[in-house]
Structure 1
C-alpha cells in the first residue's frame, strides 16, 4: 500500500523470474497474451509492458538476454525524453500553486545581461518547444563526438547549457513555430531552479516524486546496487554505461521502475486522488498548441495528444543510448500503458508503434 497519493497494487511474485513465461500481476480481458506478444516483438534483452485499466494492473516481462538477477519489473529503466512529461507537470504545478506564471523570461532568471528583445523566451515557450531554439546547442556536436557512442550528453554540463542559451539569438521569433528541442527543455530545468532557488533534481523530488510516492524513480543512476537496467546497442548485444544526461537532466534523466511509471500515469487518469497536484494534473491535459495540416498535431505542456474514437490519447516516448520507453494514458477508457526495453531503437523498430497501438485499441 502506498503512503502518498499513488495507486496501491498487488505485488508480483518475489521469487526468481520463470522466463520466458510472462510475469503477470493481474490479467484482465486476455491482455497478458497481447502484452506477451509485444514483449517478444521488442526483441530486446529486457522488456516490460505494463498496463493499468481502472486501477488494475497487468504486467508482462521477458527478454532475449539472461535474467538480470531480480524481476525485470523491479528494475529502473532510463526513459529518455519521456522525462519531459515530468518537467512539464512540474512547471504546471509551480504555476498552479502560484509560485510562477509561465510568462517569466528565462534569460532574466538565468542572469542574462543582453537586453531582452521585443519577444523574450519565456518558460512557456521552452516547455512547448516554441522558443526558437534548435534541438541541441550548435557546439554540442564537436564536444560530444569523442564520446558519441558512450557518453555524449555527459560532456555538456549545466553551465554550458545555460551559457549556450544566453548567447543564442532565437530564430524564428519565440512563440511562432514549433520545433522539438532537448535544448529548450534543458534550459527550462535550469530556469526553474533559478526561479525557485532549488535545483531541478530537488524540485522533482519535493513536488512530484514525494507526493506521488514514487520511491523507485530517480534522476541519476544507482551506485552499482543492481537497481538499474543495463542498456544495449541496436542488435541487443554489448552493454552500455548508464546514461549521463549532463546539463540536460530535465529533458532526459528520469529512470523508474515500470510500477512507478504506472503510478505516475494513473495519477493523470484520476487527478482528484492527489490533492497537491490535482490542478496541475488537469492542466497538462489541456491543449496549448496545435500545428500541422488542419492543426492535427495537438500538444499540452507535457504530452503529445492524439484523437481516438472515444477521446484523446496522451503519450510521450523516449530513448537513451541503450534503452527505450513509451508512456501513455487514455482518460476515456481509464487505461495507462508503460513500456520499457533495454535496446537502442533501430530502423523499422516496432517497439513504440506497438505500444501506441495497444493503447489506441482500448475500448
Structure 2
C-alpha cells in the first residue's frame, strides 16, 4: 500500500486560509485513508480554520498528485443544486411551491397535487429513484455508464408523464430522477442550461475553479481521477451522466470540495451566496424514529452532543465522495476515493466518524459519531 502523503501546501488552495497540517490530525487522517482501502483516497479536513489534507491509496501514486485530481462526487452534487435553488428562491426567480411541470410544458402541473420544486429537492415528490424506462438500456452498462444514453429530453419527458407513487409531500423516498427533473425545471424557468446556472451562480461566487461538470479533456490542468470497480483493480470509464446532471455531474479537486463545505461552515460576508448558505442549514423535513433524520434544502442533518452535523455522500460506478460540516465544532470535511461501493465498505463510516469527532478527542475516534 502506498503510504498516505503530506499535501503541500494545503492552505494555498481556494477557501478559508489558516495554519496547516496539525500533526495529530494528520496522523488520524492517515489512518482514515488506510481504512478506506481504495486505489486513491484523499481526506481534506478543517477545524478552527486549520486545514489538513492527506492522500494515499493501495495503488502506486499517480503522475499527478492525488490531491490535485478531480473526483466524481455522484449524489454529493445535490447540495450544489440545492444551493442554486436557494439562490433562485431568494431572488424571486422561482417560488418553493411552483409546480415543476409548469416550467417544462405549457399547461402542465395543474392537478390538485402537483409536484413542486421543494418536493423534488427534498425527495418527497413520490417519484421512483429512476425512471422505469431507463433500466432496459442501462442494465448492460450498469457497472460503467448507466445514465449515458438517457438524455435531457428523456428525463423531462419521463417526468411529465410520471405518476407519483404517493401524494407529493406525504412521504420521503430518495430519487435521483426527482433532482434531475428539478435541474431541468430550473433551466427552463431561467432559459439557461443547468450547467451554466450552476457555474455562474454557485461555482464562480465561491471561486471553485477546480470544479467541473463533465470529464476533463486530455491535457487538462486538473485531470480526472480514475475510478475502479469493487475489486479495487479494474478501472472504470469516466462518468457520463446524460440528463441527470443536477443529481450527479459535479467532479472536483479535494481542495474545491473542502472550500465548498467551508463556505457552508462560515458563509463569507458580502458573498452573493451569503444569505443562501445560511438558509440551507434550516430544517425543512423530519422523518424516522424520533424524527432523528432531519433534512435541509441541501443536506442530511444529525444531532450530536456538540450540535448538528450536516452531510451528504455520493457514489458513481467507480468512485465515492463525502461532504460535511459541523458548526458546533467548527469542522468541515471532504473525502473521496476511487473504489466502487461494496458490502461493508468503510468509506462513509470513516468519513462520518471524522466529522463527528468532538473537540479534544483525536479525530477518527468517533466518540460522538452516534449522536
Specify if TM > 0.5: yes
What is the match of residue 285 of structure 2?
A: 289
Q: Does 1:80 align with 2:63?
A: no
| Conserved? CA contact 1:185–1:250, under 8 Å | yes
Q: Does 1:337 align with 2:320?
A: no
Residue 171 (structure 1) shift: 2.2
Residue 155 (structure 1) shift: 1.8
Distance 1:76 1:131 in 2: 32
| Conserved? CA contact 1:103–1:123, under 8 Å | yes
Residue 307 (structure 1) shift: 0.4
What is the match of residue 134 of structure 1?
A: 128
Aligned length: 346
| Conserved? CA contact 1:85–1:302, under 8 Å | yes
Residue 28 (structure 1) shift: 2.1
Q: SS of the residue aligned with 2:80?
A: helix
What is the match of residue 249 of structure 2?
A: 253
Question: Alpha carbons of 1:21 and 1:147: their partners in 2 closer, same or farther (altered >3 Å)?
Answer: closer
Distance 1:21 1:167 in 2: 50
The 5 A counterparts of 1:1-363 are 20-24=3-7, 25=10, 26-28=20-22, 30-111=24-105, 113-114=107-108, 116-225=110-219, 227-363=223-359
Distance 1:129 1:21 in 2: 37
Question: Alpha carbons of 1:228 and 1:330: their partners in 2 closer, same or farther (altered >3 Å)?
Answer: same
Residue 272 (structure 1) shift: 3.7
Query: 1:98-126 deviations in whole A, cap 9, x for unaligned?
Result: 22222211111001555621111111110
Aligned-residue RMSD, C-alpha:
1.4
Distance 1:275 1:72 in 2: 30
Distance 2:197 2:100 in 1: 17
Select between 271-280 and 35-44 the one with higher mean Cα deviation: 271-280
| Conserved? CA contact 1:326–1:355, under 8 Å | yes
What is the match of residue 15 of structure 1?
A: none
What is the match of residue 4 of structure 1?
A: none
Distance 2:224 2:144 in 1: 17
| Conserved? CA contact 1:267–1:273, under 8 Å | no
Select between 246-255 and 290-299 the one with higher mean Cα deviation: 290-299
TM score, norm. by length of structure 2: 0.91
Residue 288 (structure 1) shift: 0.1
Question: Alpha carbons of 1:79 and 1:115: their partners in 2 closer, same or farther (altered >3 Å)?
Answer: closer
Select between 59-68 and 24-33 the one with higher mean Cα deviation: 24-33
Query: 1:156-212 deviations in whole A, cap 9, x for unaligned?
Result: 111111111101111211111110000000000000000011111000100011000
| Conserved? CA contact 1:209–1:217, under 8 Å | yes
Residue 27 (structure 1) shift: 1.9
Distance 1:159 1:284 in 2: 29
Q: SS of the residue aligned with 1:212?
A: coil
